[in-house]
Chains A and B, each alone.
Chain A
Amino acid sequence: MTGSLLAFFSKGALQRKLGAAFLTVGFLSLLITPWTASASPSSAFGHLLGSILGPSVLLGVGFYQIGFSGNVPVGRLSATDRRLGVAMVVAGVVWFEAMHWWTLTPTYPDEVNRSWLIFWPTMLLFGFALACGMYALVGQVGDRRVREQRLMLVVASFLMALMVMGLTMDGPSLAKERFAAELLLAAADLFGVLVGAAMAVLFFAVVLYFYESTHVPVHLPAPTEEQLQQAERIIAGNISGGEEE
């Protein structure tokens, strides 16, 4: 936390570097908690981070490769990079699916990681909601963006299909009843987080509004006739421009 605050809010370059170093050390410490701490929610979260790091990096770098091998004016990547990006995205998706439907499910300490049961349904549910929202947004702000709209529908349908499959078929380590229960709890988490964040932003806006309204500038009295005449003399003396030579 200290590292991220220093990295994002410090003005000096040295403090920012120090913040970035703190952040890195903190993240690495979190990653090794399954070996350094006893079984707890924190170490389960560290285990989850380690488990999803590989496919997440594949997805992030893959999308970057695909995007920046397109029509970008500067620093365009090659067609090979694009194919590599597609392969990385496919590998990332398959890896995540194998974590639900195959034996790669994160297990900590000797059962399915509790954090994974929160993470996976939340990711599917929010991805579905976001894809639906982006479908509407692209249609409204975009010009001739039918292809992107269709793509968002495909993403939403894919995520929906994954949820329906999880709800109707047992996985090797996760029964459909358990997945349904976790999906409902993920929905409660998701709406709770969004409502809480919205309330915080609302209170923040109220604080700023209150603070700004208590510090309005002091109103000066209207100028007197004498002051107006003096201003008139000064202005007249400065706009004549003198004689042309």
Chain B
Amino acid sequence: MNASNQSASFVRTALWFTVPTLILVLSVWWSTSASVETGVVRFVNAMLTSFTLVSFMLLVTLFAYGDARRRPTAPLAGMVFLVMAGVGLTMFFLSQGDLLMEENASVRAQFLSNIVRFATTSAALVLATVVVGGTLLASLLNTPVRTIVFEEE
């Protein structure tokens, strides 16, 4: 598979992954005419929490990277970059008014609530992956053994 085929294949898979779900969500939104504002707040909170926690996890891997490449300052460089990015994102979103706050009274309560919601969402993602991946794996492993038939035979 050459590079252009690979990128086309990637784009097609990504479209199959997102478009049916988007159509479904937009249909539900259209039929219920729910408030966009609540959804945007949830989206931003989920994005910031996910960015922060995934960055932290990746940062931990920088210790292994720095150790393997004999570059002990790699985690430090990573921290500086991620702190800069985090500060920039947080300042941007905080400047949008009360965008970050839901029913919580304080930023700390909102942050803890976000972490718990991230954990709940992660549990849902893991279970969905088990269901889909398990179904696929079970089918693949139960495929009859294929034999190669040579034309000479």
Contacts and interface: CB of A to CB of B under 8 A. Distances in A.
B47 A196 contact: yes
Contacts of A141: 9
Contacts of B39: 184-185, 187-188
9 contacts: A41-B117, A44-B116, A56-B127, A66-B134, A67-B137, A71-B143, A136-B17, A187-B21, A201-B58
A195 B47 contact: yes
A140 B127 contact: no
Interface in B8-41: 9, 12-18, 20-21, 24-25, 28-29, 31-32, 34, 38-40
A145 to B, nearest CB: 8
A211 interface: yes
Interface in A194-213: 194-197, 199-201, 203-204, 206-208, 210-211
A185 to B, nearest CB: 5
A231 to B, nearest CB: 30
Closest 7 CB pairs of A and B: A192-B46, A196-B50, A63-B134, A133-B17, A136-B16, A70-B142, A127-B128
Contacts of B140: 67, 148
B71 A211 contact: yes
B149 interface: no
Q: Could you say which interface size class chain B belongs to? A: 35 or more
Contacts of A148: 136, 139-140
Interface in A176-195: 177, 180-181, 183-195
Interface string A9-53: 100000000000000000000000000000001101100110010
Contact of A56 (B20, B24, B130): B130
Main secondary structure of the interface of B (DSSP, over half): helix
Interface in A81-126: 85, 89, 115, 118-120, 122-126
B141 interface: yes
Nearest to B8: A140
A140 B9 contact: yes
A174 interface: no
Contact of A203 (B38, B85, B112, B120): B85
B10 to A, nearest CB: 9
A215 interface: yes
Given A9-B64, A59-B130, A118-B124, A147 B143 contact: yes
Interface of A: 5, 9, 41-42, 44-45, 48-49, 52, 56, 59-60, 62-64, 66-72, 85, 89, 115, 118-120, 122-138, 140-141, 144, 147-148, 151-152, 155-156, 160, 163, 167, 177, 180-181, 183-197, 199-201, 203-204, 206-208, 210-211, 215
Nearest to A45: B116
Contacts of B24: 125, 128, 160, 163
B148 interface: no
Contacts of B82: 203, 207
A181 B55 CA distance: 30
Contacts of B125: 122-123, 126, 193
B87 interface: no
B135 to A, nearest CB: 6
A189 B127 contact: no
B54 A196 contact: yes
Contacts of B78: 204, 207, 211
Nearest to A65: B138
